[in-house]
Amino acid sequence: MISKATSLLSFVFFLFITNFANSQEATEVHKDSLDRMVKKYYVLNIKIFQANSTPKDIDDVFELFTEDFTYVHPKYGGTYTREKLYNGYIRNQKNGGYDGTVTDIEVVNKIIGLNAVVTQKRFIENKNGTVKRGKPEMTLFEFKNGKISRIFEYW
């Protein structure tokens, strides 16, 4: 005969296992959405880097960001607010800074964590018909409410 305590313990254990399995599934979906967001960010940036890009292409990238988004690149100017980064994109576009030289971004490695993704990526450039793969660079993406809240460049 099974005691009430054993039955209760078995029931609690069953609830724990069921809850753990459900949280594992939720984490996997979450990781997939973070991965898709980073891929989309890189695809949209390649579009911006082309000579025929438009301000709408820049707007499409900024739809991925939270309102309080920041971009941090200590080697090239420090911390940028969403507004400063947007204005920089527009200025580079108007000044011909996006000329189609960068043809792709290759993600070499990626680690997906809780509300964060770290990538090791490199730019693929075509200069005068010669394709060059840039050196690997590290980037951290942080997320809030399903959007990118901060990008930190470590190169």
Q: Residue 41, Cα to own-chain centre: how many angstroms?
A: 6
Q: Tell me how far apart the alpha carbons of residues 73 and 151 are, in angstroms, rounded to a whole number.
A: 8
Segments forming the whole domain that contains residue 23: 4-153
Question: Per mean pLDDT, which range of 19-23, 31-35, 96-100 is the poorest?
Answer: 19-23
Look at 103 and 27; give whichever has higher pLDDT. Answer: 103
Q: In the prediction, which pLDDT does 88 show?
A: 97
Q: Tens digit of pLDDT for each residue in 115-154?
A: 999 999 999 999 999 999 999 999 999 999 999 999 999 9
Look at 76 and 29; give whichever has higher pLDDT. Answer: 76
Q: What is the CATH number of the domain that holds 131?
A: 3.10.450.50
Q: In the prediction, which pLDDT does 2 show?
A: 55
Q: In the prediction, which pLDDT does 34 show?
A: 97
| pLDDT surpassing 60 at residue 29 | no
**Quick one: pLDDT band at residue 23, thresholds 50, 70, 90?**
very low
Q: What is the dihedral angle through the alpha carbons of 149, 105, 92, 101, rounded to the nearest 10 degrees?
A: 180
User: What does the block give as tokens for 154?
Assistant: 């470590």
- The mean pLDDT value of the chain amounts to 87
* Count of domains forming the chain: 1
Percentage of the chain surpassing pLDDT 90?
78
Neighbours of 109 (CB within 10 A): 10
| pLDDT surpassing 60 at residue 42 | yes
